[in-house]
């Protein structure tokens, strides 16, 4: 892990209005073996398996619970974003979570065409994504809160 993140000095949208007292109680660290790691998505239904495989290879020996449905953010924005239970803090025994944020790499399209992940007006159908798609993890945080948002851009 990297150096502890000071929640009072971050640009997390989630923590923007949190009190100084709450911010001082947040324990969070970047998970460096995951930042920059990538995996291939064969279909949107394959994301959970791909995330499990990535976690098993980069953080072996942990039985990760990974939620199964990553469809919404992936189909709408081309991102993988989730938080899952992580092993307790070894120093305090406090429950912890792992937040992951990754972005799909898609070829740039010139001209008036939209990105394959760009939202479509109602009635135009789903974005046309050509699989397999490579996802690169941009942020991974081990923290005592779920979804701390460190390094995760606002996307809604």
pLDDT one-digit tens code per residue, 103-112: 998 755 444 4
Within-domain flag for 14 = no
Predicted confidence (pLDDT) per residue in 114-126, tens digit: 555 554 554 455 5
Within-domain flag for 13 = no
Cβ distance 44 to 70 under 8 Å?
Answer: yes
What confidence score (pLDDT) does residue 118 get?
54
Taking Cα atoms as reference points, which of 55, 56, 14, 61 lies closest to residue 137?
55
Q: Between residues 11 and 1, which one has the greater pLDDT? A: 1
Taking Cα atoms as reference points, which of 62, 4, 50, 51 lies closest to residue 31?
4
Q: Which of these ranges, 19-23, 69-73, 130-134, has the smallest mean pLDDT?
A: 19-23
Within-domain flag for 91 = yes
The total of structural domains in the chain comes to 1
Domain range for residue 44?
Answer: 29-107+127-151
DSSP designation for 141: E
Within-domain flag for 46 = yes
Q: Between residues 118 and 29, which one has the greater pLDDT? A: 29
β-strands 133-143, 96-105 pairing: antiparallel
Within-domain flag for 48 = yes
Within-domain flag for 134 = yes
């Amino acid at each position: 892990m990297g150096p502890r993140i000071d929640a009072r000095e971050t640009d997390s949208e989630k923590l923007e209005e949190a009190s100084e007292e709450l911010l001082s109680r947040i324990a969070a660290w970047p998970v460096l073996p995951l930042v920059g790691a990538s995996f291939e998505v064969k279909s949107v239904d394959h994301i959970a398996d791909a995330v499990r495989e990535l976690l098993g290879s980069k953080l072996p020996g942990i039985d990760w619970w990974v939620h199964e449905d990553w469809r919404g953010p992936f189909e709408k924005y081309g991102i993988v974003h989730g938080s899952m239970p992580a092993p307790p803090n070894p120093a305090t025994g406090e429950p912890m979570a792992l937040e992951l944020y990754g972005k799909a790499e898609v070829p740039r399209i010139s001209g008036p065409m939209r990105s394959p992940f760009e939202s479509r007006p109602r009635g135009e159908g789903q974005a046309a994504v050509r699989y397999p798609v490579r996802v690169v993890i941009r942020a991974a945080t081990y923290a005592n809160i779920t979804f701390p948002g460190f390094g995760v851009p606002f996307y809604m």
